[in-house]
Amino acid sequence: MCTVLHWIDEELQRLATQGLLRSRRIRTGPQGTVCNIDGKPVINFGSNDYLGLAGDPRLAAAARAALRREGTGSGASPLVSGYSRYHRLLERRLAAFEATEAALVCVSGYAANVGTVAALVGPGDLVISDAHNHASLLDGCRLSRADFRVYPHCDMEALERLLRRSDRYRRCLIVTDTLFSMDGDFAPLPELAHLADRYQAMLLVDEAHATGVLGQDGRGLVEFFGLEDRVAVRIGTLSKALGCVGGFVVGSKSLVDWLVNRARPYIFSTAMPPPVAAAAAAAISIVRSEPQRRRHLLQQADLLRQQLSRMGWNIGRSASHIIPLVVGAPHRATVLAAQLLRRGVFVPPIRPPAVPEGQSCLRISLTAAHSDDHVAQLIDALAAAG
């Protein structure tokens, strides 16, 4: 028998002892409301389907029409023959929605981040990241082979200290999530834009959790802060509030032309299936025409955060629909999650390496599809487990 992989069993055992082993649960049913997890009906607070669009019949109808015409696969990478009229429609709709010259659609938000960062900086350049940025941004920084520096979460003084020493580099790029995926808090975007201007750095922001949810028209935190003219590169995902899968970059036409020529995950991956592009285009129309979804979600989130704080839960710096309940040790997170699950409420435990040591939490993702009754059941289950 082959033994060269035995080390893996030892490592897995080690993860299990530390309470860090992960496994997958089988989900059936729609996202973001009541579904089945491992055969048990639960209220799902572990979905990024923030606007309740993943199961929307209008997205399914758009996908079905594209499926009938073009089939399931796109057949090739976008530069060969994988770029269909549905991809182009989606990019045009994204650019119109985001009020930018152009948009580029990638197979995932992960690919968009990695590809864009590595296309903007390289050896001889400097890239600076918030410590709590999403793994895909951090991986992009590493892959770029630029000098890579990290500042403590949202610490603008530390960022400025790094920028003061940036003039010996060819180019400098600052990268940040706008709404942080584990903390649910906002990046200080006005200060970031100011520092980027002052030190002539490029600013790239990742709106993955904010697209469709924040800002008057649902464009995200850059819109919320009124900084659309001052942020050069905006990235988002189709995988969360837009209820599909895929990532996108919006900005100038020359930015998109550059990425088409230089973003390796874009060039060397097969284009997304046309039905997904069609569904995502439908989702953008709904985000524009049904602002009540995001307004309702943000109101519910405000109420829930207040309630949780009053109950004595540590929700960190959350200011959004992503609300961590910080409990510290990884096993405390898994025990609390199991207690909630017994009461029919699913909230995923988040442990290192997704969060720093000692910061394990349960992460509540609220969606527009949760009813008052769903939220009340979450509160009851937390009070009982408390």
Q: How far is the CB of 238 from ligand PLP (least distance, A)?
A: 7
Told to check if 208 binds ligand PLP by CB under 6 A, we report: yes
Question: What is the total count of residues that contact ligand PLP (CB under 6 A)?
Answer: 14
Q: Interface residues for ligand PLP in 117-176 (CB under 6 A)?
A: 134, 136
Alpha-carbon span 77 to 132, nearest angstrom: 32
Nearest to 42 by CA among 56, 51, 30: 30
Cα separation values, 292 from 148, 332, 352, Å: 41, 37, 36
Is the Cβ of residue 237 or residue 377 nearer to ligand PLP in the bound state? 237
Q: Interface residues for ligand PLP in 92-111 (CB under 6 A)?
A: 108-110
Q: How far is the CB of 9 from ligand PLP (least distance, A)?
A: 30
Alpha-carbon span 18 to 27, nearest angstrom: 26
Nearest to 31 by CA among 9, 46, 15, 16: 46
User: Which residue in the list 132, 240, 370, 374 is annotated as catalytic?
Assistant: 240
DSSP 153: T
**Helix, strand, or coil here: 266?**
helix
Among 177, 183, 185, 223, binds ligand PLP (CB under 6 A): 177
* Strand (E) or helix (H) holding 253: helix 253-262
Told to check if 31 binds ligand PLP by CB under 6 A, we report: no
Is the Cβ of residue 141 or residue 381 nearer to ligand PLP in the bound state? 141
Q: How far is the CB of 168 from ligand PLP (least distance, A)?
A: 30
Told to check if 113 binds ligand PLP by CB under 6 A, we report: yes
Is the Cβ of residue 166 or residue 294 nearer to ligand PLP in the bound state? 294
Is the Cβ of residue 131 or residue 303 nearer to ligand PLP in the bound state? 131
Told to check if 247 binds ligand PLP by CB under 6 A, we report: yes
Is the Cβ of residue 208 or residue 381 nearer to ligand PLP in the bound state? 208
Residue 209 among the catalytic residues: yes
Q: Which residue is nearest to ligand PLP (CB)?
A: 109
User: Which residue in the list 181, 239, 318, 365 is annotated as catalytic?
Assistant: 181
Q: How far is the CB of 109 from ligand PLP (least distance, A)?
A: 2
Nearest-Å Rg of the Cα atoms of the chain is 21
Q: How far is the CB of 121 from ligand PLP (least distance, A)?
A: 18
**Helix, strand, or coil here: 257?**
helix
212 φ/ψ angles, rounded to the nearest 5 degrees = 85, -15
Is the Cβ of residue 265 or residue 382 nearer to ligand PLP in the bound state? 265
Cα separation values, 319 from 55, 186, 210, Å: 27, 7, 12
Among 87, 132, 149, 209, binds ligand PLP (CB under 6 A): 209
Nearest to 207 by CA among 230, 172, 229, 239: 239
Alpha-carbon span 382 to 311, nearest angstrom: 9
Cα separation values, 303 from 31, 297, 309, 346, 369, Å: 22, 10, 10, 20, 15
Residue range at the interface with ligand PLP (CB under 6 A); choices 140-148, 190-198, 204-212, 333-341: 204-212
Q: How far is the CB of 235 from ligand PLP (least distance, A)?
A: 7
Told to check if 300 binds ligand PLP by CB under 6 A, we report: no
Residue 40 among the catalytic residues: no
Pairing mode, if any, of strands 202-206 and 233-237? parallel
Alpha-carbon span 348 to 341, nearest angstrom: 10
**Helix, strand, or coil here: 144?**
helix
Q: How far is the CB of 236 from ligand PLP (least distance, A)?
A: 9
Told to check if 47 binds ligand PLP by CB under 6 A, we report: no
Q: Would you tell me how many other CB atoms lie within 10 Å of the CB of residue 262?
A: 15
Residue 320 among the catalytic residues: no
Q: Where on the chain is the footprint of ligand PLP (CB under 6 A)?
A: 108-110, 113, 134, 136, 177, 181, 206, 208-209, 237, 239, 247
Catalytic residues: 181, 209, 240
